[in-house]
Amino acid sequence: MRQIVLDTETTGLSAENGDRIVEIGCVELVGRKLTGNNLHFYLNPERDSHEDALKVHGISNEFLKDKPKFSAVAGELLDYLQGAELIIHNAPFDVGFLDKELELIGHKPIRQHVASVTDSLMMAKEMFPGKRNSLNALCDRLEVDNSGRTLHGALLDAELLADVYINLTRGQNSLVMDVGDTSHHDNADPSIDLGKFELPLLLANDQEIADHERLLADIDSASKGKTVWRVVAAGMSATLVEKTI
């Protein structure tokens, strides 16, 4: 699956009240690896940024005056995003702004152009409940170097989020082991599929079985004989007796 990590910077917090996108940054992942096929735009929002927004992204109104409007880059952006999974931190915010920009030029919402939208903020909240899960906090927690992030920037934040996402989802790797650079072999396969190997089955020894039975007996005693495995076992025994009578 082709994945695009996306971030935007805006003139303010409310697309419905007229705020617009001033920057879009996109980073491509294929097979969970950065491809370098990124996309980046500064945009003329046709309005000034709020003072608080300027403090966040530092993109001045003067700098944006000669930049293209969203309508001029929409086709290129949609072609780039087509059919991909979007990964966005706090997705409702960015999706809301993209949908409003697309609505203004007569296009369908962004979800109708992509395969799916994944909110990395929601993922982080599930993995780290009760903790701060801002991009900076996740970079610190997952040891992603964000020392160059003095202000928010869509492309830089997308690059950082790509690293954060890869760290958040390491458990989703398939059973394939990278064996490094094999470019010196013409037809070499750069990976080994561990799923093809038959893993040995190690049985418990007598001592381990006895220890296990003692532990089950202690739990059974503490629950006054109401443990699920005893109830199920008793039911199965009764069924077997009925079948043999």
How far apart (Å, rounded) are the C-alpha atoms in residues 212 and 84?
49
Predicted local distance difference test score (pLDDT) of residue 178: 46
- Three-state SS annotation for 105-174: CCCCCHHHCCCEEEEHHHHHHHHCCCCCCCHHHHHHHCCCCCCCCCCCCHHHHHHHHHHHHHHHCHHHCC
pTM above 0.85, yes or no: no
pLDDT per residue, tens digit, the chain (245 aa), is 899 999 999 999 999 999 999 999 999 999 999 999 999 999 999 999 999 999 999 999 999 999 999 999 999 999 999 999 999 999 999 999 999 999 999 999 999 999 999 999 999 999 999 999 999 999 999 999 888 776 688 999 999 999 999 999 986 544 444 444 544 445 545 555 555 566 677 788 888 888 888 888 888 777 777 777 666 666 655 555 455 55
Q: How many CB atoms lie within 10 A of CB 239?
A: 10
Strand-pairing partners, residue 25, are 7, 40
Predicted local distance difference test score (pLDDT) of residue 190: 52
3-state SS class at 183: coil
* H or E, element range at 23: strand 21-30
Residue owning tokens 């980073």: 27
Tokens of 9: 């910077």
User: Can you give the residue ranges of every domain in the chain?
Assistant: 2-174, 206-244
How far apart (Å, rounded) are the C-alpha atoms in residues 94 and 72?
19
3-state SS class at 2: strand
Residues forming the active site:
152
Predicted local distance difference test score (pLDDT) of residue 213: 85
Predicted local distance difference test score (pLDDT) of residue 182: 45
* H or E, element range at 231: helix 228-244
**Domain 2-174, CATH homologous superfamily name and number:** Ribonuclease H-like superfamily/Ribonuclease H (3.30.420.10)
Predicted local distance difference test score (pLDDT) of residue 194: 56
Ordered alpha helix ranges (H), 3-134: 51-57, 61-64, 70-81, 91-104, 120-127
Question: Phi-psi bin for 192: left (phi > 0), alpha (psi -120 to 50), beta?
Answer: beta
Q: Please classify residue 201 by burial: count the beta carbons closer than 10 Å to its beta carbon, then call 0-12 exposed, 13-18 middle and 19+ buried.
A: exposed
